[in-house]
Structure 1
Amino acid sequence: MTDEAPQTAAPYGTPATPRIAVRGEAALEVDPETATLTVTASARGKDRRSVLQDLTRRNAALLELARGYGAAVEKLESGALSAGPEPAPHGRGERIRAYSGHVRITMVLNDFTALGDLTSRLTGVELTRVDGPWWALRPGSPAHREARRQAVQDAVTRAREYAEALGAELSALVELSDPGAEGARQPAPGFAAGRAFGAPAPGGAEEPPAIDLEPQRQTVHAQVNARFTMTPPAL
């Protein structure tokens, strides 16, 4: 009895077992799941204490306003805060012209019916800037899974069409992988473009009207590399 060495399949197939290499692709347009606003409150004045008091008051007003929308605001985070003196441009020594401060808050909403009203009310807070919305899908969105499924189906369809063009049939799947799975780094998904809203001049008594913000549909891409074996072609 002799031991037989295991046979290794040829990397590019053989005349008896040809291989087909294809790339499956899919692109879906779906509604966004979240909208992100970046809100920046500012304060400026001659007195350091009054600037900090104004900044604290505006920050508290923004947080209270966002919390008033309940579960519609699923994430509320305070970001970078900066405060300090502004030196005089042509003064000597350490002469200070004024004091200024900024605080940034990130708000993520999942209820778009509240988005326009909240955005309008945020701009009503003195010296407040609103950037956004940035529409996005959650990382675990079912849309990503559906796009991958359709990409696999596209790869099978392409391979089958190639085989049929040669009078052959697919026989087995040899490999299925994401593009870049061997080490190439894929670009990170980007956000849809947003917009900026500046606060009106202080002293306005009327409540600003709600802004009609239409959600921007998101495009989900998926790609997959696939290798199949097929029956000998009829050449």
Structure 2
Amino acid sequence: MITFIYWTDFSGSDIDLFFSVCHPYLTPQIVNKQMKYKNKEAALSYLLGRLLLWYGTIDLLGSSSPLTLCFTNHEKPYFKEGPFFNISHSGNYVACAINSKYNIGMDLEIIKPICYTDFQDYFTIPEWDYIVDSASPTQTFYKLWTRKEAVIKADGKGLGIPLNSFSTLEDTLYFNSQHFLFEELDFSSEYMGHLVVMSESDFSSNSTEHISHFIPLEELLIKLKTFPFLLSDLN
């Protein structure tokens, strides 16, 4: 089963111009939520995540009917009648993953200097040994960290799950009666990202892969002017 990932890079973009061009085509709910962000980059990342989700659902499902976006008790968004999806952003990159069969989680992080020792309590002992003994502890930290974030995003309970309660050293994980399969994302050497596919059954008889599509901001705007906005009932 294929996960489709739509992503973009807004570095060098005129954020104010982008907002002014696309706002007339958006639902009021999306505009209102986007405008609550005090930081322009954060506001743009939120908006691009929604636009990539909209773009991806049109690309995969067509434009015949709107999809209603709902939220779980833990504030995880989902479609009642549509595919599974997950959105992540970091730095100038924003990505949206869509899978029609499996629940998924994704985390993307820009790799920057970090005092990774401050995060020791979030890892199991074998994981921490693996990080500090590696040739590049910072790189390895981001590898395991994005795996952990992807797991809790797929599960949907967020930080209600202690990050040190499961290990991400293997490419598969069985946790909380669910099977997880990790796939590393390869957008740029400056970023680390992981996708996780979640299922009640193991993946031994099911092959999974992901296909990435880079969508320039100009293409998002062109499609936005061509198709009606289909993600309704946002809050």
Return the TM-score normalized by structure 1: 0.25
Structure with the higher fraction of residues in strand conformation? 1
Return the TM-score normalized by structure 2: 0.25
Instruction: Tell which structure's C-alpha radius of gyration is larger.
Output: 1
Structure with the higher fraction of residues in helix conformation? 2
